[in-house]
Structure 1
């Protein structure tokens, strides 16, 4: 067999924002469908203005219509396409495991598809729990063969932010995630505002507090 066929997948691309000094942790933000690793990069300074943390914005490995990068192909809500989701998840897990900061010092978050992947990385029973989770305008994924255990985030700061006017991923999916994690004992912050599928600037101050609280030594 051709050796190229057996080669492991290429590592994910990513943008890095160095910490001002020795990093006290990391802030990893995952973009939404059709965007790329530059999309959420400006949020690193807004959520960690003191640059205490290593900032990382990886790009999804898939290039699909209508363009940009994707974490998985659309399969419905809340059911990502299983083949592409199950192909991407281990690649993202390997990327996170290779960070120079242990997962218990990593705030993991994302928008839309990025929020879905944040849940996938944080709730899988065999994954290390992060320092905190920030899920903006996403949903808890339901994929056969990919278990989720919300109890793993008991006591962990979790922020769920969603626009009540979201026409892409209805707000009820954010509410479901918030209610599920609250019932599991997570330290929950729920944010909802009358905006469509977007990051509301009104969320930034409370999310910054979550990042700081979760990573202060």
Structure 2
């Protein structure tokens, strides 16, 4: 990425980058779950974008979690991230995303944000947080829209926003009701929903995953053709 070595915000999060084939049509950013790292979701980039139209990047959470993993915020109660650690991660990741855009020339409006578990929470927050630019789409596995003191979700102007949500019905870490609630809120806001529940625990359904390249292409083409309501 050009300019990355000169931008302190970009260096603030360790990340793995997958080059596009030629000039990128956009970007796909995937945030990992608790205890993983930037390598965990990296293989999903090629599954979701097999034609390599997009710049793919997977950042590592700022907090260390022995014996070698990382996480984004402290968990005290599912659905309600710790205010201080979440606030720090949200500001850090937001600045990192902005720096990524400067380094690559790819705006957030051309970027799909996604993640698993804690990473899905970060994708929801960074894609829907008040004052944040709207992404090209959201791709959230087994997560929830966070409720945190001092943090606000903004669902105004989300008509047509492509959102894909997947969750296991046997998930005992983050219950499927969280994704059902996210779906209801986003549908009410007018988002274009792709939703799948699968009979599995806290994991990503590979069958659903294999169906999502079309979602990714639609989200990017929607941005390219300008079919986006003004916010």
TM over 0.5: yes
- Of 199-208 and 45-54, the range deviating more from structure 2: 199-208
1:13 aligned residue: 14
Gaps of 5+ in 2: 1-7, 225-231
1:39 aligned residue: 40
* Mapping for residues 166-185 of structure 1, pairs under 5 Å: 166-185=171-190
1:160 aligned residue: 165
* Mapping for residues 55-204 of structure 1, pairs under 5 Å: 55-65=56-66, 67-99=68-100, 100=104, 101-204=106-209
User: Residue 151 of structure 1 aligns to a residue in which SS?
Assistant: coil
Gaps of 5+ in 1: 1-6
Distance 1:108 1:9, change over 3 A: closer
Task: Measure the CA separation in 2 of the matches of 1:66 and 1:84.
Answer: 20
Q: Retained in 2: the 8 A contact 1:23–1:53?
A: yes
- How many residue pairs align between the two structures? 211
Q: Retained in 2: the 8 A contact 1:129–1:152?
A: no
Under a length normalisation based on structure 2, what TM-score does the superposition of the two structures give?
0.88
- Of 74-83 and 34-43, the range deviating more from structure 2: 74-83
Shift of 1:171: 0.4
Task: Measure the CA separation in 2 of the matches of 1:129 and 1:54.
Answer: 18
Task: Measure the CA separation in 1 of the matches of 2:170 and 2:18.
Answer: 32
Task: Give per-residue Cα distances to partners, 1:169-217, cap 9 Å, x unaligned.
Answer: 0000010011110011001111111010001101113321111111134
Distance 1:169 1:66, change over 3 A: farther
Under a length normalisation based on structure 1, what TM-score does the superposition of the two structures give?
0.93
Distance 1:60 1:210, change over 3 A: same
